[in-house]
Structure 1
Amino acid sequence: MRRNQTGTRPEFEHPESLRRLLIRLDQAGPDAWRSDPAATELMRHAATKYAALARKHGLDPWEAATAAFEAMRTPSVRRADDPWAVITRAVQITCIAEGRAHGLLCSVHQARRPRYSQFHDAERFSDRENQLTDYHPAFHATTSPFDDDDTHPDDLDGVTAAVSDAILLLSLLGWESNAARAAVEYVCSRLAESSSRAGAYESLRRDRHAQALLDLPSETWFRTLRILLGTPDAHLAGTNAGRGLLLRLLIGEPLSYLLHDNELVTKIIHSAPAARQKAQP
């Protein structure tokens, strides 16, 4: 392979020299890429030149060299003002598409299309700490008075009463009054900021600041959220466990009725911080 005047770089580093080499290889036929020493040297150079770009996208350098090879065989590269610039751009696009294809679990051809590339990478259920049913809206009930953005004065009175009754119920069943008020009001403040009950539950469940602020162990905090907001499991959406204490109070269930719900009463008693502290040795 001939060197340029400095003797340090291959001649095909110059755009015009590359153009002449590509034209010669094209005119010689497909076998020239296999037998011509200049073609071999060119591909080695391409693998080295685009190695960093390939690693950036998690690919092998020879995958980038393959993309360069595909570009070099096109007439547009031979006619370009700067063949190397066109090749570099083609390799960059291919590397991006390869990376997206790996993430989307589809072909590179599909990953190049905007209709597919707009999606996020595929995720395994095991990649997340939480179960899919805990955070994905497709598994949650969407009808809830807490989801309604149009709040009227009468609704505000009902919400205020529901919050007060929830605090009272927790206090009657073992919670210290100030702790019950702090926990219920914190949950309700986050619920008011969220677009849905399920979204508030997921946000609160991961809220380490709330646990520290309320001085509640993780297990007690999770129990409290399930009591107040309901269990997020889709198959329990229409049950008392799925509705949660706040929603049950909001739709008109009186305290006297809730006090006769043995399952709810047991859950509240077991969740009380004071009761759990006494149970510890």
Structure 2
Amino acid sequence: MHHVCPDRSRVVPHPEGLRALLERLHDDGNGAWRRDADVAALMEYTAGRYASLARKHGLDPWEAASAAFDAMRTPAVRTAEDPWAVITRAVQVTLIAEERGNGLLCSTHQARRPQYSGFHDPERFSDRENPLTNYHEALQVAPAGEAEDERDEKATGVVRAVEDTIKLLTLLDWPEQTARAAIEHICTRLGEAPSRASAAESLRRDRHARAVLDLSSTSWNALLRAILGNPDPDQAHTAVGRGVFFRLLVGEPLRALLTDDDLVLLLGLNAPTLAGAR
């Protein structure tokens, strides 16, 4: 019996060629992926196709090929209008989770969970440009008898504003777990950024957080506009300019926000469940 070498030319990279190959492998049943002569060439082509994406996330091309292999065996890929597009998305999400897991020193499975999206990679205080005392109140020395009550009151106000923001989102059909993870991530970025405007711009470009939270760009951008407001200086003293979080921090009650038709429509119509259905 002669050994059959995989022929790269037989693996058609076009969507219909890929679909035909995947359907044949599926129809051949168990063991087809091990026996078929085209599989090795397909996986070699796939590793090359996603090599740059893998390097972008600090990973080996064959890790991308492995993620693609898992996706290729699913019905979603075989029935998709463009199988390569579905595979590319699956590979991208897996590589993001792999990179995130490596950075957080946790499993890829944990890194995929929304509640971990607010965490950043371990880092040394000495690697930061700003003084150590800027990062935790316990490291700051205030004059005796000064500001302790004020700090407690401020911290309580922030916690209340965060919880009310999450409650507002859940009342407008946002899943609670997604809402909490998203708001905690936004608050983390606010604490790290020099200004609200820079935090908003950084978050707007944060594709990694959006992928981990599994939010469409429509839902993510609507959430940022609602929570952080419009950075335009001309809008600074309007409800649109201030945003939900600021309005709650200055004492505006949650029930007042629920009477803001523009805000309710913005968040309600862009809730993940509705945005995904459109």
State TM-score, norm by structure 1.
0.45
Radius of gyration: which is bigger? 1
Scaled by the length of structure 2, the TM-score of the pair is 0.45
